[in-house]
């Protein structure tokens, strides 16, 4: 919640400063990109934790319960594999950023802000893999 409020306040102040005062904060744009990255991956981790992530489940709605569970396991396995690949390649990207000593703004190293990528995708991969092997609880229908 704090990251979202900080993002909104910083973006609003940038808009105000640019439109009305003809200036801006030099480090605000890279920080805003970083905050959006962190917000999106933290939201994705929370969505996979609560089984609230986006699913393309048109077919599974019409399948019998046995095939529905199998379909969910297959899609969760596919999602786990994709997240593993994303975690691996984002870790390679962060490593390259560390080697290049890239800087986000001021003297903040880029790799430090980008660590959320391999971490977030690894957490999501673990959650999808656990749901394949241990099963996932069904969301209760709200009345």
49 part of a folded domain: yes
139 part of a folded domain: no
* Residue 40 clears pLDDT 80, i.e. is over it: yes
Q: What percent of the chain has pLDDT over 70?
A: 94
* Residue 123 clears pLDDT 90, i.e. is over it: yes
143 part of a folded domain: no
Note the pLDDT of residue 137: 52
Note the pLDDT of residue 143: 42
Among candidate residues 123, 142, 4, the one with its CA nearest the CA of residue 53: 123
C-beta of residue 105 within 8 angstroms of C-beta of residue 28:
no
pTM above 0.75, yes or no: yes
Number of structural domains found in the chain: 1
> What is the enclosing helix (H) or strand (E) of 44?
helix 28-49
Q: Which domain holds residue 13?
A: 2-134
140 part of a folded domain: no
């Amino acid at each position: 919640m704090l990251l979202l409020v900080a993002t909104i306040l910083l973006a609003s102040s940038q808009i105000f400063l640019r439109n009305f005062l003809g200036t801006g904060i030099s480090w605000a744009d890279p920080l805003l990109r970083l905050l959006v990255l962190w917000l999106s991956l933290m939201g994705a981790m929370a969505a996979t934790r609560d089984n609230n992530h986006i699913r393309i489940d048109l077919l599974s709605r019409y399948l019998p319960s046995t095939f529905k569970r199998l379909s969910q396991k297959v899609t969760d396995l596919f999602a786990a594999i994709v997240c593993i690949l994303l975690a691996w390649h984002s870790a390679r990207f962060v490593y390259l950023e560390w080697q290049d000593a890239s800087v986000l703004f001021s003297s903040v190293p880029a790799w430090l802000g980008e660590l959320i990528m391999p971490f977030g995708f690894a957490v999501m991969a673990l959650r999808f893999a656990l749901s394949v092997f241990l099963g996932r609880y069904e969301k209760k229908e709200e009345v």
